[in-house]
Structure 1
Amino acid sequence: SSVSAYSHDGTTGTVTIVSKRIFEVGFTHSELVPLIGGRRLFLTIQPTGSGKPAYYAMIELQPRFTRFAGSSSIFIYSWIDPVMDGFDLVFRGRVKTPRGVTMRGAFNDDDSEPAQTQEGETRWRYDWIPAALPYSGDPVEDAIRFGGVDADGASLQKSASIEIMLRRVSFTNYRTPFLLWPAPVCADAVLSCLQALESWPSDTEGCGTARQVTPCLAQMPQPPTPPIVTKEHFAGDLRKAIIAYYGEHESDILASGGNTRPQALLSVDTQRIDVVVDPDENALGYDLATHLVYRHPDVVFPGSDIVWFGVYRKSDGGLVELGPFN
């Protein structure tokens, strides 16, 4: 048999045939995010042999908490829901506690923690940016630890792992599965709910899931288009920073065998500039949802572990920080 994987937006996975009856579909973190955010995964399964019809599968995935351990005073709701906060996708979990308990946050070992918001006397909300959630659940053994204190000041802790679960699976031999399972469209009730919100953009959870809300966003007032900060723009800012850096440290650089200033400036190359998308590589710790972070290998001491980072606000393209980091 042959198997292919795809989605409405073109997301594909890597299919591995394990045996005659078993196959696996693997995804990178960036491929996984839209699928757990509400987009459907489709599989085409073509049995071996002429004349045999192909079969199609539609799969919906969703993250959820599993493997709970710890204090019974902290109740973790199982499902993690994809919702839209304005135009931004977030993954939202919730915790319930007795009165008098104060939650102190949720933590793990790879700095992909959610933002905590208190919703009421006994309810707490935890929002992950899309890039962070896959790291929170990979590996599964890397549990999230929810910490708090009770009314007497005693510490409370409960842990849970995040797994990606099958929410729905459907099969057919209908030849055009996109007609059977079409891409979502904007429902009148959802659009009316969005238009009735007190302000915009704002949290849309009360109007539906990310899958239900996203098709309606094109009909809502759009945010101003922020300036596009290109690699060439960063390269220009990097050259300015290098000139200033040599103005302060040139004698020490040359005494240590580093490049001359002209050599350093000529070493700036847009092909060596990368956008930081992995939280593990975000050395300066800026929120990647609101900041664009570029990096370039060192041009002062070529081959060193030093990296030059440039951080820009996505809202207006403003430069926040630019300099070397080791």
Structure 2
Amino acid sequence: MNSRAFGLACFMALAAPASGSPSAEPAAQSVEPVGSVAAAATAERLYAAEGALTLSFETLGTFEQRDGVRALILHATANRYLRNVFTYVPDDAFGEAHIISERRLEVVLKEGHELNTVLSGLPLFVTVDTFTGTPNHYTARIEVAPRFYDFRGSSAVWVEENVTPYYVVNGGDWLVYRGGVDSQASHLSVTAPDGAPAVSRVDSDSFQLEWRYPSLYQAIDPHTVPLTFTAALTEGGTAQKTGRLVARVTSLALTSGDAYDVWPSPSCQVSTYDCIQDHPAGATDLSACGTYREVTRCLFADACEVSAPQRRDVHGPRGPVAEHLLHVQR
């Protein structure tokens, strides 16, 4: 067996469930999430149902002062009386959850590390225990992301709804948030009281917006203040549009099973690993290889998580870019 075939077989062995072992669980017994939904740009609330529980989250989070710091507050409602709620990320308690009335709860993510971590693409789990119903123990999985909405103004300026996290090293920071604007314009400026992005041209009719976390946070808190986009059109004149950047619940799923079985942590994808290895040593912008989380899963992948042929033995098992980034993160 050649090295490529061996590496791929090793990768697939980890990714696929055992089928020939007597101890393997039958597929019919696997627990699947019920009611997994993603938010449209205009959705105000997401719903998910499993067993006796229907849970809904307001998609738009709000900022409040909690324990002396600003925090993103997410509100949810259940159809059952709540007994206990708790928030975590895999293997670690994270954020806070509180019952605020018999059937209502809130999730609190403090500004700084907690908020930045979730906005960068890490899902948040929320356990929900109810007094009645069968079953009465559930886990919700939510994703929160920066999103533009409430656009007003000229159609000559088109602002992408999504703002996406990428791995781009700048000193001790390797997380950047990027958005985009399309306009037939020779120049684009974006203004705001706080949190205006850096703007750069991509091609003749598109521009890139870029925030590091501190400025992104300033742009979304308060979420009621819009950003203003002003384009100098190539055909003459100017066009202007406003839009609000907010922290939005973009997906919700609910299960009564084991959250680690239902939503296992994703592994490094071969295409992402290959892309990283194709960058020269010392490369700092890995946005072409995937999102921030997709890239970070591959930086320190072991031999059975990626195909063998892509490894550069002369640079050690991690390859040139990963070795550089390991040094940066230390």
Q: 1:8 to 1:17 in 2, by over 3 A?
A: same
Give 2:60's aligned residue. none
TM-score by length of 2: 0.62
Give, in angstroms, the shift of residue 150 of structure 1.
Answer: 1.7
Give 1:94's aligned residue. 180
SS in 2 for 1:105: strand
The reply on whether 1:44 has 2:127 as its aligned counterpart is yes
Is the CA contact (8 Å cut-off) linking 2:188 and 2:207 kept in structure 1? Answer: no
Equivalent runs, 1:191-202 vs 2, <5 Å: 191-198=273-280, 200-202=282-284
TM-score by length of 1: 0.63
Distance, in Å, in 2 between the alignment partners of 1:154 and 1:19 is 54
Which residue identity is paired with 2:108? G
Distance, in Å, in 1 between the alignment partners of 2:207 and 2:125 is 35
Distance, in Å, in 2 between the alignment partners of 1:206 and 1:149 is 29
The reply on whether 1:203 has 2:285 as its aligned counterpart is yes
Give 2:191's aligned residue. 107
Is the CA contact (8 Å cut-off) linking 1:8 and 1:39 kept in structure 2? Answer: no
SS in 2 for 1:156: strand
SS in 1 for 2:203: coil
Give, in angstroms, the shift of residue 224 of structure 1.
Answer: 7.8
Is the CA contact (8 Å cut-off) linking 2:228 and 2:242 kept in structure 1? Answer: yes
The reply on whether 1:4 has 2:82 as its aligned counterpart is no
Give, in angstroms, the shift of residue 194 of structure 1.
Answer: 1.1
Q: 1:187 to 1:122 in 2, by over 3 A?
A: same
Give 1:170's aligned residue. 253
Give, in angstroms, the shift of residue 131 of structure 1.
Answer: 2.3
Q: 1:226 to 1:91 in 2, by over 3 A?
A: closer
Which residue identity is paired with 2:189? G
Distance, in Å, in 2 between the alignment partners of 1:206 and 1:226 is 19
Which residue identity is paired with 2:118? L
SS in 2 for 1:89: strand
Q: 1:133 to 1:9 in 2, by over 3 A?
A: farther
Q: 1:18 to 1:117 in 2, by over 3 A?
A: same
Q: 1:49 to 1:73 in 2, by over 3 A?
A: closer
Give 2:238's aligned residue. 155
Distance, in Å, in 2 between the alignment partners of 1:201 and 1:19 is 51
4+ residue segments displaced more than 3 Å: 49-53, 223-228
Distance, in Å, in 1 between the alignment partners of 2:289 and 2:160 is 20
- Counting matched residue pairs gives 224
Give 1:53's aligned residue. 136
Give 1:69's aligned residue. 152
Stretch moving more, 52-61 or 74-83: 52-61
Distance, in Å, in 2 between the alignment partners of 1:103 and 1:59 is 38
Is the CA contact (8 Å cut-off) linking 1:93 and 1:127 kept in structure 2? Answer: yes
**Greater strand share, 1 or 2?**
2
Distance, in Å, in 2 between the alignment partners of 1:16 and 1:36 is 21
Give, in angstroms, the shift of residue 157 of structure 1.
Answer: 1.9
Distance, in Å, in 1 between the alignment partners of 2:157 and 2:329 is 44
Equivalent runs, 1:1-326 vs 2, <5 Å: 1-8=83-90, 10=92, 12-30=94-112, 31-48=114-131, 53-86=136-169, 88-98=174-184, 101-110=185-194, 112-151=195-234, 154-174=237-257, 176-198=258-280, 200-218=282-300, 219=318, 220-223=322-325, 225=327
Q: 1:196 to 1:224 in 2, by over 3 A?
A: closer
User: What is the Cα-based RMSD across aligned positions, in Å?
Assistant: 2.5
Which residue identity is paired with 1:113? A
Give, in angstroms, the shift of residue 10 of structure 1.
Answer: 3.2
Is the CA contact (8 Å cut-off) linking 1:103 and 1:146 kept in structure 2? Answer: no
Larger RCO: 1 or 2 (CA < 8 Å, sep 6+): 2
SS in 2 for 1:132: helix
SS in 1 for 2:125: strand
Is the CA contact (8 Å cut-off) linking 1:85 and 1:201 kept in structure 2? Answer: no
Which residue identity is paired with 1:102? S
Give, in angstroms, the shift of residue 201 of structure 1.
Answer: 2.2
Give, in angstroms, the shift of residue 11 of structure 1.
Answer: 5.8
Compare CA radii of gyration and give the structure with the larger one.
Answer: 1
SS in 2 for 1:84: strand
- Residue by residue over 1:260-301, the C-alpha shift from the partner in whole angstroms, topping out at 9 and shown as x without a partner, is xxxxxxxxxxxxxxxxxxxxxxxxxxxxxxxxxxxxxxxxxx
